[in-house]
Structure 1
């Protein structure tokens, strides 16, 4: 039997040089964190106050040392190393994730009877450098209000009656005045590590940072009607590379300039907001993959082939398509692709 020869790929010289530079920067971040930790140790109070001090010092260091903005992978390593340095000096673990943001950031959380998960959702958000956390309680009949009140600094907007599925996003976005707005839901606990890329990419120039949910979907043959609606909307706007990534899926983040440009009312219909943003030329990108499909809590309203939520989302896409045709004159057709091109695009991971 002929033996198989396994070829081991080696990093290119350019890749090795890049890895070496990153290693040096990571080591420097650790040493800087140690130095800062020894300076702030005596003044440390609560974990929140500690994180605030670390966030401020880390941002100052990054802006001083880097002439060009680091990509997120490097920023993630720098942040982790800096926190390890602070912890090594103070003996206290930094619970948050400092990021070098030039703008201010806020989060909007929509919740409807989410007392079991809301506390954990807010815990993760408090690990991020957010100036404001807005909780929209949408017709809650449980103890969600009391849960939210336990988190100091959180702004609560409580409506006794149900407003509608996505109305809370529009209300929350209208309250905050920050440069970046992160949107998530109270029923899905997403680690801060998976939320941070959305803040960082919007701070870097992206206007609509989408959850790259496509890798968690089945191949095209098994797509449901909702998924095909999402893909079709992106396709007619000549953004096939977005696949089925959509503002209907949390988490996502928007810049304040984009929210102002597309209008608060559009946020109540996520596909419409996405369509308007693309039509107006805002920078829309899929920035990070978060599996919210398996984490999404099952309700009677979102189960089954023709459930209420699915029908609502399909209706939202119809509204988005009408907006594109009536106001932007965008026809609902695209240049034909070959069968192989379609197969590669639809089934790629």
Structure 2
């Protein structure tokens, strides 16, 4: 028949028997057979009417057999038996595909886990390094203050005491220079100590420090110093020590320039956030103004200011006209990823 018989994978040892009818001499009949799926050619003529197929692999087969008369004439009809040995479940296509997908999934999951572990380890190492840097900065600031700061204060006090005891004008002048230099150096060290303090690593503290510098600088002068836009929202803007140090020194220089050269009655410090990544800080005075601010200008420390702005990737804009005052603006990026450590 044409029906295909399905056999289990462990039923792969087949013994097939067959018989041909030849009325003249039944014992003279010979047979030829083949198993399609395993072999293509018929066997040589044999007298045996049985064949054994051990350990057939999974697949589709058709057994064919024909009888031969003593004179070699083949029977008109070829007997056929079709069957299929079904593979075990672990050799089926769906199982192999599912297994491959599972293995790939496990590999991908392991790679993702390993990548996460690597990132977490890197973050942990970076956090430890940051913590160590903060400790070093804090300790350095404390040591710096206790050592150099106290000695400079002592020099200033001793200079003032010495000034009362000497009478010669040239000696008084020399002692006064020592006192002024010590006081100036002490003020400079305060900026360094402030920058070293980890608490200073945000824009709000930087702006408040610049404001304090301005208040102290214009005290006992005819110049009114004001600020605008400095609010606590800037605490969320984190700055590296490199950033807050350079920003502070830029505006300290600009405030000194306004005091010495602007001939102003009002100086305004202003800060605003352009967008989530950029901040604009400006100094405006109502003084006599300046005719020219060119890229090669060295006057009033402008070259130094440009250098510091470049260090933080900032852009400086100068706006001034004779008799109409001066505005100098610093625009810089506050994305932490772009800031140097």
- The interval holding the TM-score normalised by the smaller chain is under 0.3
| Greater strand fraction, Structure 1 or Structure 2 | 2
TM-score by length of 2: 0.23
TM-score by length of 1: 0.23
